[in-house]
Every structure is written in structure tokens, then in C-alpha cells.
């Protein structure tokens, strides 16, 4: 099996790196499995206080793996994504995402689950589902609690691209800084979290995420079914095939 996710531990910080350049870190079955396993390992490491989630390339995550969705359907894939989001939300250690390039659809669900997100002003975000006959069903679990209703309506229904500064303004990311400032901003956020005691971090994160975790548990199955049904519809399948053909043709 190809290694699409790397886990590196240095002192109190575990860094998980998405490394699947062939499909722009799309959420394939293998990548989701390996990312979940890496989160579990970091969570169980007694020396680790903070987990950093990043990518080896500029693209953070292209969302669902559409080639798998077309060929295999998304009955299992939607549930696997919800389980991944739950891992991040329930992990007893803060998870900080570093975003320097594009994040689409399901990838935004990941950063919505994180406790803090540092983004470059050159990063870009888009809820592309509506343009493919889909809806941001499963990712709404982690994204909607971060956004004001008006911002959610504009970004979900419009499906257009917006930048890091706008993402910070509407609450999707914690901080947006110039590209040359990302290292310093990450060091500040991670350093602040590392000052907490393990028990303090665990209990405070649990306090902050209690409502979100309950929502995932109560609505996860319903939204997984909705998402899988739409992925399986002829309208969405035709749109996804057209997208894949266009991408293959350059």
C-alpha cells in the first residue's frame, strides 16, 4: 500500500502530512484510513501535546476522490469521512491545520474539525458540491458551526472560490497571514497550546467541542445517507464524469 500520509514527532508536536500529489490529496479510501491511523497514533503518544496537520504540496486537499465516487459509489466513503472528522474533534489534543494553497469541499470539512487553522492569504477555498449536483452534507457537521448563516448561504450556494482573508473574516480559519508569515504564525499558535498541561488541554478541548461531537453522533448517519444518495444520482455522476474528463484532457 502506498504511504499517502506521514507522521513525524518532534518533542511535544506531532506533524501529520498529507502526501498524495497524484490526486491533490483527495480523500481516497487509503488516504482517509492512513490519516485516521496517524491521528490515533498521535493521540496515544503520551509525549505529544499538539498535532499539526499539513500537506507536502501547495494543495491542502481537493475534497472527495471523484474517481472512486464514480467507480465505487460513496456509501462507505461518506461514513469514513464522518469518522475522520470525529477523530479530529474527539482527539484529546489540539489539532492545528496549516493551509497554504487550495482546499475544496471535503478538505474544508477537515479544517472545520480542527481546533485552529493558520492559512496563507494566498490559500483558496471553495464549496464546489453545488456545481456537481451535490450538497456539503457531511462537511456541514464541522463547517456550519464555524460560519455565520449568511456566510454559509453565500459560500455553499455560490460554490465560488474565496481567499484566506475572507476565510478568516467569516470564521472558517483562525488566522490568515502573508505567505512569508505562516511559519511564525504557526509557531505562535502551536507554542501557546504547548504551554498547556495534558489534562488541561484534554478537558478544555472536550468542553469546547462537546456540542459539535454530539451533533456528529446524532446527525452523522442521516447526512451520510443524504450525501451517498446524491453521489449516486445520475445528475451528479454525469457532472463528476465531465469534470474528470476535462481534468484528464488538461
Work out the pLDDT band at 147, boundaries 50, 70, 90: very high
* pLDDT at residue number 250: 60
Domains in the chain, number: 1
User: Which residues contact residue 66 at a Cβ distance below 8 angstroms, ignoring those fewer than 6 apart?
Assistant: 26, 240, 243, 244
Percent of the chain scored above 70 by pLDDT?
99
Q: What is the mean pLDDT of residues 36-62?
A: 97
- Grid coordinates of 161: 472560490
Mean pLDDT across the chain: 96
pLDDT per position as a tens digit, 118-129: 999 999 999 999
Domain of 109: which CATH number? Answer: 3.90.226.10
pLDDT per position as a tens digit, 60-106: 999 999 999 999 988 999 999 999 999 999 999 999 999 999 999 99
| Residues acting as catalytic residues | 129
Q: Is residue 134 part of a domain?
A: yes
Q: What is the mean pLDDT of residues 141-151?
A: 95
Q: Is residue 84 part of a domain?
A: yes
Q: Is residue 195 part of a domain?
A: no
Q: Is residue 105 part of a domain?
A: yes
Q: Is residue 250 part of a domain?
A: no
- Grid coordinates of 111: 479544517
Q: Is residue 244 part of a domain?
A: no
| Cβ(47)–Cβ(69) below 8 Å | no
Domain that holds residue 37: 5-180
Q: Is residue 245 part of a domain?
A: no
173-177 contacts, C-beta under 8 A, 24 or more apart: 173/99, 173/111, 173/117, 173/118, 173/119, 173/123, 174/116, 174/117, 174/118, 175/116, 175/117, 175/118, 175/119, 176/118, 176/119, 176/120, 176/121, 176/123, 177/118, 177/119, 177/120, 177/121
* pLDDT at residue number 246: 85
Q: Is residue 13 part of a domain?
A: yes
* pLDDT at residue number 40: 97
Distance, CA of 75 to CA of 230 (rounded, Å) = 10
pLDDT per position as a tens digit, 4-14: 999 999 999 99
Distance, CA of 44 to CA of 180 (rounded, Å) = 33
Amino acid at each position: 500500500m502506498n504511504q499517502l500520509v506521514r507522521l513525524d514527532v518532534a518533542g511535544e508536536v506531532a506533524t501529520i502530512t498529507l502526501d498524495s500529489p497524484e490526486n491533490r490529496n483527495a480523500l481516497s479510501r487509503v488516504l482517509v484510513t492512513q490519516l485516521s491511523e496517524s491521528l490515533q497514533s498521535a493521540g496515544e503518544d503520551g509525549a505529544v501535546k499538539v498535532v499539526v496537520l499539513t500537506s507536502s504540496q501547495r494543495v491542502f486537499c481537493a475534497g472527495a476522490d471523484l474517481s472512486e465516487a464514480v467507480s465505487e459509489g460513496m456509501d462507505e466513503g461518506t461514513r469514513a469521512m464522518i469518522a475522520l472528522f470525529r477523530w479530529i474533534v474527539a482527539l484529546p489534543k489540539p489539532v492545528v491545520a496549516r493551509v497554504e494553497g487550495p482546499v475544496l469541499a471535503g478538505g474544508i470539512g477537515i479544517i472545520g474539525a480542527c481546533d485552529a487553522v493558520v492559512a496563507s492569504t494566498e490559500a483558496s477555498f471553495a464549496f464546489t458540491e453545488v456545481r456537481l449536483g451535490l450538497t456539503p452534507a457531511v462537511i456541514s457537521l464541522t463547517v456550519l458551526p464555524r460560519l455565520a448563516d449568511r456566510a454559509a448561504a453565500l459560500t455553499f450556494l455560490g460554490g465560488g472560490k474565496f481567499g484566506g482573508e475572507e476565510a478568516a473574516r467569516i470564521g472558517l480559519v483562525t488566522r490568515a497571514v502573508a505567505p512569508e508569515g505562516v511559519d511564525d504564525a504557526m509557531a505562535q499558535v502551536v507554542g501557546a497550546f504547548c504551554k498547556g498541561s495534558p489534562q488541561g488541554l484534554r478537558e478544555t478541548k472536550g468542553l469546547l467541542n462537546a456540542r459539535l461531537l454530539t451533533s456528529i453522533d446524532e446527525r452523522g448517519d442521516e447526512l451520510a445517507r443524504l450525501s451517498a444518495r446524491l453521489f449516486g444520482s445520475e445528475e451528479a455522476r454525469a457532472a463528476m464524469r465531465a469534470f474528470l474528463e476535462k481534468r484528464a484532457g488538461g
